Amino acid sequence: MEPIKNCHQEAFKPITIGKDTWMASDEIDFSSKETTSKMYNEVGLLKYELKNGIEEKTKYRFGFPVAKYYYNINSNLVKETTFHYNLDAKLIKITHISCLDNFEVEYLDQEYFYEEDSVICLHYLYNKPSYYKKTTHSVDKKIVDYWHANKKPYQKCVYYYKKNKVMTELMVELPSNRIVQYWKYKYNSNGNCLEIQRFNNTKVAEHCQIFEYDKYNNCIREHLVFKPKGKLLEETITKYEYDAMGNWIRKVIYKNGNIQYFVDNKILEK
């Protein structure tokens, strides 16, 4: 297996320097979802991540996450999450403290209960039960049931998979068994998703996402069209530059013909 690479990606907004000509600005856009960073420990577990302007640092014990620390753009600690396990090493609850309460009040975020083939997670909002999420796995599908705090069901999601664990269908239902949304997925021989077709509650085709890839399996074009007419609603094009090793070092993102970002990618040493 190819080793996991530490990487750091920086997004820069474009500056117009002439007709249909742009260059990257000098300042990193930390608010962009394209500005990310990931670093892994010696056994391949994610120990550091930068996303949406927030730094996340994860502490592990015996291969299990025990704490996660969140820092803002000024490197100030804003939140600390703690993971609690039972003697069988099963996760039983997640709690957090934050700067909003001077790190003095511990809040319960999630509580876990286990059945034979299912995991039930009770989500809390400021220590008050908010909703339940029950996840059940089988050979070819995953069922996720959502209940209100009073255990009254309000939604079900059913994910269908092939033997290689690639998702082929997604169905969202209401308690009345009426399908709210339905998606079908198609892939190429490399496992890249080629098409995501969405249907309405009567299974009439609506929006469809279509993807194209280069020889490095990076997505270079994404179309959002409305079927059956096939009207183009949105187009995203990504142009990549690669080094001699096949690592992409820069990508330029266009949306509906307008440049959005220059993104530089750096492969970091462990």
Q: Tell me the DSSP string of 130-155.
A: EEEEEEEE-SSEEEEEEEETTS-EEE
What does pTM read for this prediction?
A: 0.84
- Asked if 46 contacts 56 with a C-beta cutoff of 8 angstroms, the reply is no
Structure tokens at 120: 């039930």
In angstroms, the CA 36 to CA 78 distance is 19
pLDDT value of position 1: 38
Amino acid found at 10: E
101: which DSSP letter? G
Q: How far is CA 239 from CA 23, 223, 234, 249, 255, in A?
A: 14, 15, 17, 11, 12
User: Mean pLDDT of successive 10-residue segments in the chain (270 residues)?
Assistant: 71 88 90 92 94 94 97 94 97 97 96 96 96 95 96 96 89 86 94 94 90 95 87 94 91 94 82
pLDDT value of position 196: 97
Question: Which among 212, 256, 207, 253 is positioned nearest to 234, based on CA atoms?
Answer: 256
CA within 13 Å, CB half, 214:
15
pLDDT value of position 229: 75
Burial (CB count within 10 angstroms: exposed 0-12, middle 13-18, buried 19+), residue 132? buried
Structure tokens at 188: 């190429």
